[in-house]
Amino acid sequence: MTILDGKKISNDIKNEITEEVNKIKERGEKVPHLAAVIVGNGGASLTYVGSKVRACERVGFKSTMVRMSNTTSEVELLDKIEELNNNDEIDGFIVQLPLPPQIDTQKVLMAVDPNKDVDGFHPMNFGKMALDMSTFIPATPFGILELLDRYQVETDGKHTVIIGRSHIVGRPMSILMGRKGFPGNSTVTLTHSHTKNITQITSQADIIISALGVPKFLKAEMVKDDVVIIDVGITRVPDETKEKGYYITGDVDFENVSKKASYITPVPGGVGPMTIAMLLKNTLLARERNSL
Ligand code: NAP
């Protein structure tokens, strides 16, 4: 069994990006600049944005964190997005989700300039991805592709089962694994909460990508020998014995499933760090495109 070490690979990617930034600096050009908008400070959002900003610093990007209160109106947020769209200093930006209930998330994502949409959530970029055109691939699916690529995990002709159909992970992943090329050329089954007999489906899978957010959902008896496991889930489970008052777990019963797997991502240290590295990669791409 091989661990798909997202921590290591994401560090490699960050080092590669740092080299690119050094070349940009040597040419006396402007370094990439990522902005992150965060509305309110609920849940893990602030932690996630904090790690994204720190990652920018590490590779030599400029970063700006835009903090807005929990009571921000939709109009105020849309005005801020317009400002970022028009700010030539900023190459790309993200709006951290989830947003408070008074704000229509889809409307906000539609307002982001597709050329600065480094999360790849704008319908234009999502459409381009579905049509195999060059675009910003959402960071988590992009990170999974990169892990499969760097470990040369065979995907051609394999049966890939995806659990969860969210717009940010499951749905794009189903498109990417089924497209022509590597990683890809898989036969894909996309499952969700209405799927019947999910064990029957997962037990036929060569590759399982789990993104549902239910701790230890995927058990050893649900998978076949030599399966490849990508665990996207991140759930905070309350635990008073931990300093932070919780521990992080994935969707997969790692201890038992890993005994049957050929490759598996750990949680933490698998897909999570890859997501941040690929956001940086998209920002570098945005800078290259926008400076043409
Ligand atoms: P989400 O929007 O929370 O949706 C969950 C999906 O799982 C839905 O499609 C839902 O089906 C499906 N589902 C729920 N219960 C199920 C069940 N019992 N059997 C089969 N499918 C079921 O998903 P998300 O935003 O993609 O997040 C999923 C997990 O990944 C979370 O733990 C999240 O924290 C984590 N995540 C991690 C990263 C990372 O960087 N590692 C990035 C993003 C998300 P329906 O559509 O029918 O409701």
Structural domains of the chain ordered from first start:
28-115 (3.40.50.10860), 139-272 (3.40.50.720)
Respond yes or no on whether the N-terminal peptide bond of residue 114 is cis (omega within 30° of 0): no
Band of residue 47 on the pLDDT scale cut at 50, 70, 90: confident
In terms of C-beta density within 10 A (0-12 exposed, 13-18 middle, 19 or more buried), how is residue 243 classed?
Answer: exposed
- Ramachandran angles phi, psi of 63, nearest 5°: -140, 150
Nearest residue (CA) to ligand 1, atom 24: 166
Please check the confidence at residue 198 and state whether its pLDDT lies above 90.
Answer: yes
Q: Which two tokens stand for residue 66?
A: 């835009």
Q: 122-157: per-residue pLDDT in tens?
A: 999 999 999 999 999 999 999 999 999 999 999 999
Asked if 202 and 223 touch (Cβ cutoff 8 Å), the reply is yes
Residue 106 CA to residue 52 CA, distance in Å, equals: 22
Q: Please tell me the predicted confidence (pLDDT) of residue 42.
A: 74
Which residue's alpha carbon is nearest to atom 17 within ligand 1? 193
Helix and strand numbers, DSSP H then E, in the chain: 10, 11
Mean pLDDT of 39-65: 91
Ligand 1 centroid to residue 44 C-alpha, Å: 16
Mutation probe of ligand 1 site: the residue of 168, 169, 248, 276 with most atoms within 8 A of C-beta: 169
Q: Which residues contact 36 (CB under 8 A, 6 or more apart)?
A: 49, 52, 53, 63, 64, 65, 66, 93, 94, 95, 96
Please, where are the H alpha helices in the chain?
Answer: 6-26, 45-59, 74-86, 105-111, 123-130, 139-150, 170-178, 198-202, 254-257, 271-290
DSSP assignment string, 97-137: SPPPTTS-HHHHHHHS-GGGBTT--SHHHHHHHHTT-S-PP
Beta carbon of 108 within 6 Å of any ligand 1 atom: no
Ligand 1 atom closest to the CA of 235, numbered from 1: 32
Tell me which residue has its CA closest to atom 35 in ligand 1: 233
> Which pair of structure tokens corresponds to residue 260?
């049957």
Q: What is the pLDDT of residues 210-233, one digit of tens each?
A: 999 999 999 999 999 999 999 999
pLDDT per residue as tens digits for the range 78-121: 999 999 999 999 999 999 999 999 999 999 999 999 999 999 99
From 174, 192, 197, 251, mutation site for ligand 1 pocket: most ligand atoms within 8 A of C-beta:
192
CA of 231 to the centre of ligand 1 (A): 11
DSSP assignment letter at 209? E
Residue nearest to atom 40 of ligand 1 (CA): 272
Is any atom of ligand 1 closer than 6 Å to the C-beta of 166? yes
Atom 25, ligand 1: which residue's CA is nearest? 166
Angle between helices 45-59 and 6-26 (to 10 degrees): 50
Pocket lining: 280 vs ligand 1, CB cutoff 6 Å: no
The residue assigned the tokens 């400076």 is 291
% the chain with pLDDT above 70? 100
Q: Is 212 in the pocket of ligand 1 (CB under 6 A)?
A: yes
Residues that are catalytic: 52, 96, 119
Ligand 1 mean position, distance from CA 193 (Å) = 10
Is the pLDDT at 43 greater than 80, yes or no? no
Ligand 1 centroid–CA 192 distance in Å is: 9
Whether the CB-CB separation of 161 and 209 falls below 8 Å is answered with yes
Q: Which residues contact 165 (CB under 8 A, 6 or more apart)?
A: 171, 174, 190, 191, 192
Give the model confidence (pLDDT) of 229-281 as tens digits.
999 999 999 999 999 999 999 999 999 999 999 999 999 999 999 999 999 99
pLDDT at 178 over 80: yes
All residues at 6 or more sequence positions from 198 whose CB lies less than 8 Å from its CB, including other chains? 163, 191, 222
